[in-house]
Amino acid sequence: MAFKFLNLDMTNRRLLSIVLFFWLISFLYLIIGAVLFSRLSFEGVILIAFSQLLLLVEIVVCLFYIFPKFWRLNKAVPLTASIVLLLLTIVFLRYSFEEVLFVKYLGFKLNPHLDPFYFLYDNFYFSLPGVFIALIVYLVAKSFEVGKKNKALEAGMEQAELNFLKSQLNPHFLYNTLNYMYSIALPLSENLSTAIPKAIGYDAVHACAEQKGSTSFK
């Protein structure tokens, strides 16, 4: 229910849960490390937390929207355009929060020497790993999905072959075989010819054969 708004099936929900789990471990590792060992200020911790949150958003968008929709040979252009648009959105969000909102509401220091082109390049560069992480997870998940489908297909083919073999052993076939055995045994011994249908279950076979339009033997 927590992921219902994403319109994900059960497999993708599990995949998202795995991504969130490992992201949370990475997030806690960076935050705890920054506080205990680097002794970063409150501003530094907030920046790390915000950057990791953007990384999570980037991975989720790539993993559950961009790659499933555009990972095709004939969709290289929209794939590239979608990734570039996503990265530009990440840059815009970082600038809006780190250089505007955090400065205004949290008292962060304003960088008066901010180079827009370097800021764009720097954020593009450090956002690319999120795309590659999402791509690796997506390809691994697809390989497992293909393997699962292949196993299901093989099982279906085996079941179809088994059903086909079972269909060859229908009551009509058994009735004809029993009739042949009866005709062979009759000249040898009347008791033997009578015992064969009873031993095999003549009544059930005979009833099914009559439903299929076979003629009974005496």
Per the rule left: phi > 0, alpha: psi between -120 and 50, beta: everything else, 9 is beta
pLDDT tens over the chain, length 218 residues: 444 445 567 778 888 888 999 999 988 888 888 878 777 788 888 998 999 999 999 999 999 999 999 998 889 999 999 999 999 999 999 999 999 999 999 989 888 888 989 999 999 999 999 999 999 999 998 898 888 888 888 888 888 887 777 666 666 666 667 677 767 666 776 666 566 666 555 554 455 445 545 444 44
Does the pTM surpass 0.75? The reply is: no
For the record, the structure tokens of 14 come out as 């599990």
Amino acid (1-letter code) at residue 140: V
